[in-house]
C-alpha cells in the first residue's frame, strides 16, 4: 500500500511536470502535495458504514464467486464499469478497503489535473493553475469522499471536468467520450449534460459527436436500465441487497452470446 501511495504521489508530481511546472514552482507544490497524501494515508484504515454494509460485501462476493465470472449474478447497484473494477480487484493480493480507496484517490489526482487544465484555459500566466491543482487535492469534501468514505464521486467528476475542458479546447470527440465515461460510472453526470447543449449552440461540439456519447453508454446501459450488450446479470431482475443469499445459476446459451457481444463491444 505504501508503494502504491508513492506511485500516486509521483503521478501527481509527474502531471505537474507535464504541464510545464519545473524548478521552484514544482518544489513549492511538493509540500501541499505531501500534506494531501498524508491526510489520505491517515484516513485509509477508516471503515464507513456504507463500506461495511455494501462495498465490503460486494467485494467479498466477487472474490468468492470467481471475479469476472460473477458478473453474471445480481450484485450491487453501481453501474457496469465500477462493477468491472470490483471484479478486477478480486484478483489482486490487496485488502478490499485499500483497493477501493486507492482507486478513488487515483481519480482525486486526475480531478486535480482537470482543475489545473480548466484554470489554465482562462489564465495561462502565473501560478493560479498550480494553486487550483493543490487546492482541489486538499478540499475536505474531496479528501473525505474517497480516502475516508471510499466513495467513487471523484471518478465521474474527474471525467466530467476533463470533458468540459476538452470541449473548451475544441476537442469535441474527446469531450463526448469523456462525458460518456462519466455517465457510465454514475448517473449524476446527467445533471451537467445540458451544458453540452450550450456548447453545441456555441459551435464547440457538433451534433454528429453525440454518437460518441451514445455508443459507449447505451450498449451496456446502466445498472437499472440495461442496454442490449449488458452482462446477463442485468436482465436477471432487481439487484439483491447485501446479506441476501445469492444463488449461482447455470449460464444459458443466450448468456454466452451476450458475454461475447459484451467483449466485442468493449
Q: What is the 3-state secondary structure (H, E, C) of the chain?
A: CHHHHHHHHHHHHHHHHHCCCCCHHHHHHHHHHHHHHHHHHHHCCCCCHHHHHHHHHHHHHHHHCCHHHHHHCCCCCCCHHHHHHHHHHCCCCCCHHHHHHHHHHHHHHHHHHHHHHHHHHHCCCCCHHHHHHHHHHHCHHHHHHHHHCCCCHHHHHHHHHHHHHHHHCCCHHHHHHHHHHHHHHCHHHHHHHHHHHHHHHCCCCCHHHHHHHHHHHCCCECCCCECCCCCHHHHCCCCCCCCCCCCCCCCCHHHHHHHHHHHHHC
Least trusted range by pLDDT, from 19-33, 119-133, 245-259: 245-259
Mean pLDDT, to the nearest integer, of 69-81?
83
What are the angstrom distances between the C-alpha of 61 and each of 54, 56, 64, 238?
Answer: 11, 9, 5, 17
What integer pLDDT is reported at residue 164 of this predicted model? Answer: 93
What integer pLDDT is reported at residue 239 of this predicted model? Answer: 40
Residue 37 predicted with pLDDT over 90: yes
Predicted confidence band of residue 257 (pLDDT cuts 50, 70, 90) = very low
What integer pLDDT is reported at residue 33 of this predicted model? Answer: 95
What integer pLDDT is reported at residue 75 of this predicted model? Answer: 81
Tell which residue, 180, 166, 37, 173, has the closest CA to residue 114: 166
Residue 264 predicted with pLDDT over 70: no
Predicted confidence band of residue 126 (pLDDT cuts 50, 70, 90) = confident
Mean pLDDT, to the nearest integer, of 93-104?
93
Contact status, residue 101 vs residue 146, Cβ threshold 8 Å: yes
User: How high is the mean pLDDT of the chain?
Assistant: 80
Percent of the chain with pLDDT over 70: 78
What integer pLDDT is reported at residue 213 of this predicted model? Answer: 67
What integer pLDDT is reported at residue 252 of this predicted model? Answer: 42
User: To which residue does cell 463491444 refer?
Assistant: 265
Mean pLDDT, to the nearest integer, of 178-184?
89
What integer pLDDT is reported at residue 20 of this predicted model? Answer: 87
Mean pLDDT, to the nearest integer, of 246-262?
41
Amino acid at each position: 500500500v505504501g508503494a502504491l501511495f508513492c506511485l500516486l504521489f509521483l503521478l501527481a508530481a509527474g502531471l505537474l511536470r507535464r504541464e510545464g511546472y519545473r524548478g521552484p514552482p514544482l518544489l513549492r507544490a511538493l509540500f501541499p502535495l505531501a500534506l494531501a497524501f498524508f491526510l489520505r494515508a491517515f484516513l485509509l484504515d477508516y471503515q464507513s458504514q456504507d463500506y461495511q454494509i455494501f462495498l465490503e460485501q460486494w467485494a467479498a462476493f466477487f472474490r468468492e464467486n470467481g471475479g469476472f465470472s460473477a458478473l453474471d449474478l445480481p450484485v450491487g447497484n453501481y453501474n457496469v464499469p465500477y462493477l468491472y473494477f470490483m471484479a478486477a480487484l478480486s484478483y489482486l493480493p490487496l485488502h478490499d478497503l485499500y483497493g477501493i480507496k486507492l482507486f478513488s484517490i487515483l481519480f482525486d489526482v486526475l480531478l486535480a489535473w482537470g482543475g489545473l487544465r480548466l484554470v489554465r484555459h482562462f489564465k495561462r500566466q502565473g501560478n493560479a493553475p498550480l494553486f487550483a491543482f493543490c487546492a482541489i487535492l486538499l478540499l475536505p469534501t474531496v479528501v473525505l469522499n474517497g480516502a475516508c468514505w471510499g466513495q467513487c464521486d471523484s471518478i465521474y467528476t474527474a471525467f466530467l471536468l476533463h470533458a468540459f475542458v476538452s470541449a473548451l479546447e475544441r476537442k469535441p470527440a474527446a469531450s463526448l467520450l469523456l462525458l460518456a465515461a462519466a455517465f457510465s460510472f454514475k448517473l449524476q453526470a446527467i445533471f451537467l449534460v445540458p451544458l453540452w447543449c450550450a456548447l453545441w449552440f456555441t459551435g464547440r461540439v457538433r451534433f454528429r459527436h453525440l454518437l460518441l456519447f451514445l455508443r459507449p453508454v447505451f450498449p451496456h446501459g446502466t445498472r437499472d436500465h440495461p442496454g442490449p450488450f449488458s452482462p446477463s446479470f442485468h436482465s436477471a431482475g432487481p439487484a439483491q441487497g447485501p446479506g441476501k443469499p445469492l444463488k449461482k445459476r447455470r449460464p444459458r446459451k443466450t448468456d454466452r452470446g451476450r458475454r461475447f457481444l459484451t467483449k466485442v463491444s468493449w
